[in-house]
Amino acid sequence: MKNEGKKETEQAKRLDEIGISQEKGEKQPFEVDRRSVYRCVQCGTCRSVCPVFDVVGWESANTRGRMLIIKSLLEGMPPSKDVLPSLASCTTCGICASRCPAGANPPEVVEAARTQLVKCGITTDAQENLKSSIMTYGNSFGETTDRKQWLSETERSKLPEKSDYVYFVGCLDSYRYPESAKKAFGILRRFGVTLLPDEQCCASPLLRTGFKEEAEKVMKRNLEQIRKVEAHTIITSCAGCYTTLKSNYPEEIRVVSLPEFLAEHLEELSLKKLDLTVTYHDPCHLGRHNKIYDAPRRVIQAICTLKEMKNIKENARCCGGGGGVRRGYPDISLELARNRLKDVPEGVDYIVTSCPLCVRNLRDAGGDIEAIDIVELVAMAME
Ligand code: SF4
Ligand code: SF4
């Protein structure tokens, strides 16, 4: 009870700081861009595509419902934990934005609203845990082991201190799929690519869940190292890292996704043909958010037969892992992944994708076909 009281006082203090004083009855608007909120004309086109609504079924868990709640907050509704099931359960997949006839960008609005809620001290426990793992340990899992555990001492000692190119590994490959990290770097190092001396989380989970100030600190640490290494290009194998490095780090840094790099160097890789048929899952943050559709398909077709899924490219359904939803609402997240598995065609050997979070969620959803990262397929073709 004492803690509850303390929390309420802290919350009131934060509300005061940003000009939302419940005691005085003065409801200042959130700092969310009004034009982007009012662009939504509540037509409901997005209801039919929001993957979370598809699973949950509440009006507040579809895009239109989220936009209405944010509009109400702008117009004076006091922010409270009641809005979290709606605003914290958006995966930021962006399919609503691609369909919106009015040109609204709901995931951007949701992220801005989450930032305001964080300022008010209104967060879920899952968001708080994620934040403290990143701020304390530099990774989203709270891992205390070395981020480069997948590299031998000898390999580490040979890492170039300066290079034009850096491989940004990301938390997932570093700690959950070190074999993928090893394979990706095994290819990249042939081209003189190095690693950051002390890579931190890219800050994607912080940005997606509204912890903007904390994200700035983490990005600053990575940026200092990128400058120390004197790299002008960052290569990453994670779709979440890609979107963050591309949109939130300084523009002068060139960001290249691993499938783009592989597609550019197909001839030098001397890949052999494999007697396999695979399908490809477009990660939301590589596909819809950044329009990288062809490069991974070119790599796959250089190796084996590609049989497309039911919904692809701009229409690809989300795996359910993003936007903090996997951590905060694991059941919803896995249900989204199960729905995505329904799009897998008959007669394929693997589901190939270009994001470790998609690999993880699609694997955890079960299903008969194994989900693998594109680098695994490339490694098979190099054996
Ligand atoms: S976000 Fe766009 S598609 Fe959805 S209700 Fe608003 S105007 Fe319609
Ligand atoms: S970004 Fe995806 S999950 Fe979020 S509201 Fe839009 S369609 Fe729904």
- Each residue's pLDDT tens digit, 346-380: 999 999 999 999 999 999 999 899 999 999 999 99
Amino acid 11: pLDDT: 44
Residue closest via CA to ligand 1's atom 1 equals: 40
Q: Which atom of ligand 1 is nearest to the CA of 103?
A: 2
CA separation, residue 32 to residues 4, 46, 64, 111, 117 (Å): 28, 21, 16, 9, 11
- pLDDT tens digit sequence for 114-149: 999 999 999 999 999 999 999 999 999 999 999 999
Residue whose CA is at the smallest distance from ligand 2 atom 5: 63
CA distance 124 to 22: 21
Nearest CA to ligand 2 atom 8: 50
- Please give the number of the atom of ligand 1 that sits closest to the Cα of 106: 1
Check if 105 has its Cβ closer than 6 Å to any atom of ligand 2.
no
By percentage, how much of the chain surpasses pLDDT 70?
92
Q: Whose CA is nearest to atom 6 of ligand 1?
A: 40
Cβ of 40 less than 6 Å from ligand 1: yes
Q: Distance between CA atoms of 265 and 33, rounded to whole angstroms?
A: 42
- Compute the average pLDDT of residues 310-326: 96
Residue 281 three-state SS: strand
Cα–Cα dist 84/117, whole Å: 9
For the CA of 91, the nearest atom of ligand 2? 3
- Global pTM reads 0.90
Nearest-atom number in ligand 1 for the CA of 41 is 7
Domain spans in the chain, listed from the N-terminal domain onward: 2-122, 127-263, 270-382
pLDDT at residue 198 is higher than 80: yes
How much distance in Å is there from the Cα of 145 to the middle of ligand 1? 45
Angle at 271 between CA 266 and CA 272, to 5 degrees: 150
Task: State mean pLDDT over 80-84.
Answer: 94
Distance 97 CA to ligand 2 centre (A): 8
* Residues β-bridged to residue 280: 352
CB 336 within 8 A of CB 55: yes
3-state class of 349 per DSSP? coil
Measured in angstroms, how far is the CA atom of residue 87 from the centroid of ligand 2? Answer: 10
Separation between Cα atoms, residue 249 and residue 245, nearest integer Å: 5
Question: Which CATH number is 2-122 given?
Answer: 1.10.1060
Q: What is the distance in A from the centroid of ligand 2 to the CA of 55?
A: 12
Cβ atoms of 339 and 317 within 8 Å: the answer is: yes
Residue located via tokens 């997606």: 208
Query: What residue's CA is closest to ligand 1, atom 3?
Result: 100
How high is the pLDDT of residue 31? 72
Given pLDDT bands bounded at 50, 70 and 90, which one contains residue 383?
A: confident
CA distances from 331 to 141, 152, 250 (A): 19, 38, 36
Give the pLDDT score at 115.
95
Give tens-digit pLDDT for 209-239.
Answer: 999 999 999 999 999 999 999 999 999 999 9
Residue 92 near ligand 2, beta carbon < 6 Å: yes
Is residue 66 in contact with ligand 2, taking CB distance under 6 Å?
A: yes
Backbone angles phi, psi at 352, to 5 degrees: -100, 140
Class of domain 127-263: alpha beta
Greatest alpha-carbon pair distance for the chain in Å reads 71
Determine the residue of 66, 96, 208 to mutate for testing ligand 2's pocket, defined as the one with the most ligand atoms within 8 A of the Cβ atom: 96
Residue 67 beta carbon below 6 angstroms from any ligand 1 atom: yes
Range 270-382 has CATH code 3.40.50: yes
What per-residue confidence (pLDDT) applies to 18? 38
Q: Is 63 in the pocket of ligand 2 (CB under 6 A)?
A: yes
Q: Is 95 in the pocket of ligand 1 (CB under 6 A)?
A: no
pLDDT tens, position by position, 2-52: 444 444 444 444 444 433 333 433 444 457 888 889 999 999 999 899 999
Closest CA to 13 of 128, 124, 125, 121: 121
Q: Is 63 in the pocket of ligand 1 (CB under 6 A)?
A: yes
Using DSSP's 3-state secondary structure scheme, residue 27 falls into strand
What mean pLDDT do residues 87-96 have? 96
> What is the token pair recorded at 333?
């997240």
* Cβ contact 304:336 at 8 Å: no
Instruction: Confirm or reject: Cβ of 93 under 6 Å from ligand 2.
Output: yes
CB 90 within 8 A of CB 323: yes
Same fold, 127-263 and 270-382: yes
Would you say the CB of residue 46 lies under 6 angstroms from ligand 1? yes
Q: pLDDT value at position 4?
A: 43
Ligand nearest to the CA of 71: 1
